[in-house]
Amino acid sequence: MSELINLDQGVLTALSFLVKSNLPKLNLNKFDFPLVVGSGNAYNTAQILFSKQKAVIADESTFKETIEKYKSLINKKIIKEAIIISASGEKDSVWEIELAKKNKLKTVLLTCSPNSTAAKLADQVFVYPKIAEPYTYNVSTYLGMILSVSEEKPEKIIGFINKVKLFKGFKNFKSYSFVVPDEFIFITPMLDIKKSELFGPLLSLRAFGFGHARHAKFVIRDKNELVITLGKEKNKYFGEEKSRWQIDLPKDSGFALILCLTYYLIGKIQESKPAYFKKHIKNYCRDYGPKAYGKKGEFELIVK
C-alpha cells in the first residue's frame, strides 16, 4: 500500500488480510490477575481484551504509579505478570518492560514487531501479523489481537459490513454520534481517537454507551447531527427523530465486529468530507509529529 486510503478501505483491507492469517492463540485464562499496560489505542485494546476478567490496566502515564500502588500484591505474587501491548514494540513499551522486570514480574509482550527492542527484552512474545497502513490507522494491528481472543470470523464481519446501506443523506450531516450497547463501551474511546486523528476540530464525532448517552449527552439536539445507534435497544430519545439511524447487529456480535463497523462508517464520513487528514498528515509526519517526541527525522507516512 503506497497511497493514503480512507479508513473504510483500511478496514476491509485489514479484514481480508486477517482472513488468511494465522493468529497466535492467546489464552487469557492463564493469567489470574495481570498488570496490563498500553499507550493510546493499545490501552483501549487492553480494556477490550480483559473486559471479562480480573486485571489492573494502566497506560504510559500511570504505569509507574500503578506499580507502586500494587507493590504489596506484586511482592506476594498475587500479581505475577505484566502484559505489555505495543504494535511497534518501541517507545514506551521498552522502559515499561524494564520496570516490570525490575519488580520481578514476568513480562509478556503483544506486538506486531518481532525484531523490536521490546521483543528482545520480554520473557514471552506473541507476534501478530499486520499490513502496511497510513500512519495512525492501526486497524490490522489491534484488530488481530482482538480477534485472537474473541474468535470472531473476519469473513463474517466483511459480509455484514458489505450489507450495510448508508442512511439517506449520510454525507450531508455536519456532525455524527455513535451510541453502542453498554457491553461495548470500551470501543468509544477508540472512536474518539479517530475523531482527533482524522477530523481534529473541523468535524464533531462523538461516541457513547447507552448509559452514558442518557446522562445529558443529548441536551442539545440538531437535525444536522446523525445519531447512529447499534444493537437491539432502540433509540427513542437521542438526537432529532428524523436524524436517527438504527443498525441491528448479528446475535454473535463481538468487539471486533463493533470496531470494524464503526471504523468503516467513520471512513465513509471521511470520504464524504474534505480531505482533512490527507491534507495534513504528510506535514505532521515530516515536521511537528516527530519533533514533539524530541526525535530527528520523519515518521513513516505508510507504516509497514
Query: Domain of 186?
Result: 168-279
Dihedral angle, C-alpha 255, 257, 258, 260, nearest 10 °: 120
Q: Output the pLDDT for position 140.
A: 96
Q: Output the pLDDT for position 20.
A: 94
175 and 119 assigned to the same domain: no
How far apart are the C-alpha atoms of 139 and 144, rounded to whole Å?
A: 8
173 and 229 assigned to the same domain: yes
123 and 181 assigned to the same domain: no
Identify the bridge partners of residue 246 per DSSP, sorted by sequence position.
229
Concatenating the DSSP letter of every residue in 258-275 gives HHHHHHHHHHHHHHHS--
**Can you give the pTM of this predicted structure?**
0.94
How far apart are the C-alpha atoms of 51 and 67, rounded to whole Å?
A: 21
- 193 in any annotated domain: yes
Give me the sheet containing 106-111, strands edge to edge. 56-58, 35-38, 81-85, 106-111, 124-127
Q: Is 276 within 8 Å of 198 (Cβ atoms)?
A: yes
Q: Is 111 within 8 Å of 86 (Cβ atoms)?
A: yes
- 242 in any annotated domain: yes
38 and 117 assigned to the same domain: yes
* Single residue among 62, 97, 127 that ends a domain in this structure: 127
Cβ of 149: how many Cβ atoms within 10 Å?
A: 21
275 and 182 assigned to the same domain: yes
- 196 in any annotated domain: yes
- 288 in any annotated domain: no
Domain count, the chain: 2
pLDDT in tens, the chain (304 residues): 448 999 999 999 999 999 999 999 889 999 999 999 999 899 999 999 999 999 999 999 999 999 999 999 999 999 999 999 999 999 899 999 999 999 999 999 999 999 999 999 999 999 999 999 999 999 999 999 999 999 999 999 999 999 999 999 999 999 999 999 999 999 999 999 999 999 999 999 999 999 999 999 999 999 999 999 999 999 999 999 999 999 999 998 999 999 999 999 999 999 999 999 999 999 999 999 999 988 889 999 999 8
- 2 in any annotated domain: no
Q: Output the pLDDT for position 293.
A: 84
- 157 in any annotated domain: no
Q: Is 41 within 8 Å of 138 (Cβ atoms)?
A: yes
CATH of the domain at 102: 3.40.50.10490
114 and 186 assigned to the same domain: no
Q: Output the pLDDT for position 304.
A: 87
- 155 in any annotated domain: no
- 153 in any annotated domain: no
99 and 190 assigned to the same domain: no
